[in-house]
Structure 1
Amino acid sequence: MRTFTDAQLHELAHKRVEFRTHLMVYLVINAALWIIWYITGQGYPWPVWPMTGWGIGVIFHYMFDYRQSRFLSEEDEYQKLKKKLEENNHITP
């Protein structure tokens, strides 16, 4: 299991709160767009387009900031490099 420093936990908490804020703004604004669409005559469902584009951004925000991704983890990459360097130092005479 991975251990976190206090600074890392604080940064992770900050990123998660930012994601939740982003998600709430997305939901409120898109609800407002759908209400405007409904009030103005319900023609072509144009709110789908900003909702889709922005939704892709919300998904990427989740993937990179909320969820723990080992693929993009700076700490994991550092540990791999450190381990490789230690192995190379032990192998060479």
Structure 2
Amino acid sequence: MENEKDDKLWKKAEARVGFKKHLTTYILVNIFIWLVWYFTTAPYYDGFPWAAFVTLGWGIGIVTNYIQVYVNDGVDVTEKEYEKLKNRERR
């Protein structure tokens, strides 16, 4: 039982570290992309910045990853529902 808890905590820790690395990469790459856009296109172009497509598209992935790691917290929804039903039956 103790090893099972340790395994779950280890996987949760790995997922959170992975998210932080993903977020850091996202921020650094997007800063670079926006700088490239600014110094090559911005002075000559009046329309929608192409760099926004990268930021928004990848941002959706970041939000999804955040929800998976911090909100759902690795708990299986089916397992949660099973426990809820099991507790009702005991009453």
Q: TM-score, normalised by structure 2?
A: 0.73
- Which residue in 2 is equivalent to 1:19? 19
The unaligned stretches of length 5 or more in structure 2 are none
Superposed CA RMSD: 2.5
Residue identity in the other structure for 1:60: T
**d(CA) in 1 for partners of 2:71 and 2:41?**
44
Select the residue among 43, 55, 77 that pairs with 1:51: 55
The unaligned stretches of length 5 or more in structure 1 are none
RCO greater where, 1 or 2, for CA within 8 Å and sep 6 or more?
2
Query: Once the two structures are superposed, what CA deviation does each residue of 1:59-84 show, in whole Å capped at 9, x if it has no partner?
Result: 0100011x1427x7225245336x26
- Which residue in 2 is equivalent to 1:60? 64
Residue identity in the other structure for 2:72: S
Identity %: 36
Misfit runs of 4+, over 6 Å: none
**d(CA) in 1 for partners of 2:37 and 2:60?**
21
Equivalent pairs, count: 81
Q: TM-score, normalised by structure 1?
A: 0.72
**d(CA) in 2 for partners of 1:55 and 1:68?**
17
